[in-house]
Structure 1
Amino acid sequence: MAEYGNPAETDVRLPSLPQSARIARRMTQYVMLRHWALGPTLAEHAVLLVSELVGNAVRHTGARVFVLRAQRRPGRVRMEVRDPSRGLPCLMPVGELDVSGRGLFLVDKLSDRWGVDLGPRGKTTWFEMRVTDR
């Protein structure tokens, strides 16, 4: 992780390659469990959802790089994946036998809020999860 940086401290640029999902999962797990000392269930869900957002960025945007960012705010955490595409992701209905298309369905079910912010040079897809502040 040291090679890329800590997404809780800075924007982390990753190459738009399938293996970057593994790197993003490790970074998310580190941030949730070690950097912010949050629980394992929250970390597990965040890791899964980051993997889905990264997978969408890699598969659907044609970008060479994307950015991962983690933010801790009072009562919640926010994970963001930014890419240069302005194409919006779609939440599709999912059948029980479907083998693909479940990414945003999972994000919708496991996060407390999610969305997409369009910017002048692309979009940021994000999700938030509630946490208990100590």
Structure 2
Amino acid sequence: MATHAAMPGRRTPRAHARPRRRTTLAWALPLVLGVIYGFYAAFIRRDGGPSTGGQVLLGLVSGAALAALCFALGRIQRSLPLALRAVAYGALTASAIGFLVSLTDTSVLRSAGLGLAVGAGVLVVTFYTLYSRET
């Protein structure tokens, strides 16, 4: 009876996976997006009047939150499957746009609807871009 011969294993030690270095762009892009987002959130809330401490605090907190979420998504995006990566980008964009629209004192349905519409568009474009680069 014939049996399969076992393939000889590698005798050389394998190189361990080195941790990825964080490039300047990996932290600079979320930081810039957070600053712009924070300024815009504070500007929307200002409504033409003088700036107050509450508006500045709103801008700082919302900008820091978006920067942290963008940085976290940038760190884990390579480990996500293609479709889930597109969903993550769409969800982040939808929540960011929905929050900005809610600052304009419109209805909840309008801010949720506009956030979902923009998020769906980002999802489709991101999925198409990632899928076309993969193949």
TM-score greater than 0.5 by the shorter chain:
no
Return the TM-score normalized by structure 1. 0.35
Return the TM-score normalized by structure 2. 0.34
**Structure showing greater Rg:** 2
The structure, 1 or 2, with the larger RCO (C-alpha pairs under 8 Å, 6+ apart) is: 1
Going by fraction, where is strand more abundant, 1 or 2? 1
